[in-house]
Amino acid sequence: MIVYIYNENGVSLDDCETVSNALDAPLDALDPTGNAPYCLDVSSPGLDRPFKTQRDYERNYGEKIEVKLFAPMEGTKTKLYVGTLISHTDDILTIETDGKEVGIKTSLVAMARPYVEF
């Protein structure tokens, strides 16, 4: 069983331990596996977790993101964009890349997530 936790300031190993300890007794009482053994993993969703909700986008306004498309936009050959997230609506995702704003139809977006540089 995996439980993901999130905190705007990041998730530490101590945070995972605290949540795991807090869930241990209630899960044992509920017996969700019908007395079968289980392993409880508590983790953060990761630095490069794909955006799923509008709130995910809003948290990342002004941050560098990567956007992968199902197919290149008309008149282009690329399916990968990296830039600063400007805005997101149901219809358009806007990023700034190479000093230009690029509007991408959300129907073309296969995945958007924070850009992690190593």
The pLDDT tens digits for 98-115 are 999 999 999 999 999 999
pLDDT single digits (tens) 21-79 = 999 999 999 998 999 998 999 998 888 899 999 999 999 999 999 999 999 999 899 99
pLDDT at residue number 27: 92
Cα 85 to its chain centre, rounded Å, is 14
- Domain ranges within the chain, ordered by starting residue: 2-43, 54-114
Q: Which pTM does this prediction carry?
A: 0.72
C-alpha 84/C-alpha 107 separation (Å) is: 19
CB 68 within 8 A of CB 79: yes
State which fold the 54-114 domain adopts. SH3 type barrels. (2.30.30)
pLDDT at residue number 107: 94
- Extract the runs of DSSP E, i.e. beta strands, from the chain: 2-4, 41-43, 64-69, 80-88, 92-97, 100-105, 109-114
